[in-house]
Amino acid sequence: MSRQRFVLISILFFHSFNTYMDRACIASAADYIIKDLSISKEMLGLILGIFAVGYALFQVPSGWIADRFGPRKALTIVVSVWSIFTALTGVARSALQMLVLRFLFGAGEAGAFPGATQAFFRWLPVKERGLAHGINFSGSRLGAAFSLFLMPWLIMKIGWRWTFAVNGLIGIIWAAVWLVWFRDNPKDNKKINKAELDYIEQGRVSDFTTTIRASFAEIFTSLNMSLAMLQYFASNVTFFISLTWLPSYIRNQWPDDPNAIYYSAVPLIFAAFANWIAGSMVTGLFKKGYHVGSRRITAIIGFSLGVIGLILATQTKNMDFLTTDKAQLYWFVFCFGLATFGVDMTLSPSWAFCNDIGGSNSGAVSGSMNMVGNIGAALSAIIFPLLLNEETGSANTFFVLAAGLNFVAIATWCFMNPNRTSDKKLSPAAIRNRFIAMLTSLVLLTLGTVGYNIYKSTRKKPAAADQKTQVDPNDVDDGNNTTIQEER
């Protein structure tokens, strides 16, 4: 039997890796952009925030495009589009040009993961999708961690403008490889032999079939979809702190250690391993006959680790055996890394679940879940600084809140079941009205959340001259504030 489906997983791993490399590039170049374009830090916050608007709003449309036209065309187009706008970011000469380019970049990148989900649905038997999703998302985590070191070095070598050009070129090369190699139907790939084709088709026969024939509107408004979006919201509230406030939080909590900030990469490494382990668990449990449990058990274990890690992180300053600042730093990084490990264990079962209930609508269904996840990411960036202790700079209140959301997500997974019969009692008109109302609410909530975050970044007041040398636990430097906006 040939192994071309493994080639697919490898190609999409690098696709995921590249998405986060492109996102991180502008955060590393923030200071240079401010200087060369003569713009304020507040305007840069708006430029970075506009990415989140395009990314969130185009999740469902881009997923629908992948479902309608196939992942071959969809990913070729979206990767080419965002790569072109990434490269063009390096030639921008004004704030207005930057705003337009970054919005279009976000809109293009919105199709990255929904398109990959549709490709997995068409090419992989059900029992292999869990591991495939885990490997795919580990690429994004490794890309984020790698960029913390690569992008500043590359900017120093060739300048920030050419760095964007290099990132864009990498995406174009990937799109070319994808267009040449991938086919929407695996039988159209000449390198796949009959044994592998039979294996794929037989594996798809055992697919969850209770809701696959339902329309997207039915699936979108079903209980399964609502629960999937809720638990994905919870996981993003925890994880995205590692991409936003964590570096500056560590710096402010341990200001005497000049290398403390670099430990913020550790949770991302934990997350990468979590995706591999969770994907293997989903695949292994499914092969043993635990079809529903392969998703549910893995996710519940993940969220449980998230709760444990966050609660332990709140005790960093209270542990008697942590007698030095270095020991406390190590403890906190490990505990938050454990929490990140846990919530990232939920990605593989979450996206496999979208395949289960979405079927041929997997792109739009996963895009819907991802849109709500981005609302959670945006809210976490807004709430985190508001919940900091004014005297100590501690984020224990936020960690307890995030732990509570993870606990709710555990309960949510107890009721998520891809074998649940879709709601056929409603008339087509009722389903349509419910779909419109739900989608409109999510869009308005997305715009409101992201819009407030952008407004908040533009209203940030500069520090007074006599306070610039002090470390304010409630303040985060603009270098890290840019990461807040972009990484979402």
Distances (CA, A) of 186 to 132, 138, 205, 327: 16, 24, 15, 52
CA–CA dist 20, 15 (Å, integer): 9
Along the 488 residues of the chain, how does pLDDT read in single tens digits?
889 999 999 999 999 999 988 887 887 888 888 888 888 877 877 787 788 788 888 888 999 999 999 999 999 999 999 999 999 999 999 888 988 998 899 888 989 999 999 999 999 988 888 899 999 999 988 988 888 788 889 999 999 999 999 999 999 999 999 999 999 999 998 899 999 999 988 877 655 554 446 677 788 888 899 999 999 999 999 998 887 788 888 988 898 888 887 888 899 899 999 999 999 999 999 989 888 899 999 999 999 999 999 999 999 888 878 878 889 999 999 999 999 999 999 999 999 999 888 888 888 899 989 988 888 888 888 888 888 888 888 999 999 999 999 999 999 999 999 887 654 566 777 777 878 887 888 788 877 877 776 676 666 554 443 444 334 433 434 444 444 334 33
Alpha helices (H) in 29-159, listed in sequence order = 30-37, 41-57, 59-69, 71-89, 95-109, 112-123, 126-158
H/E run at residue 222? none
259 DSSP assignment: T
Concatenated DSSP letters of 416-477: --TTSPP--SS-HHHHHHHHHHHHHHHHHHHHHHHHHHHHHHHTPPPPPGGGTTS--TT---
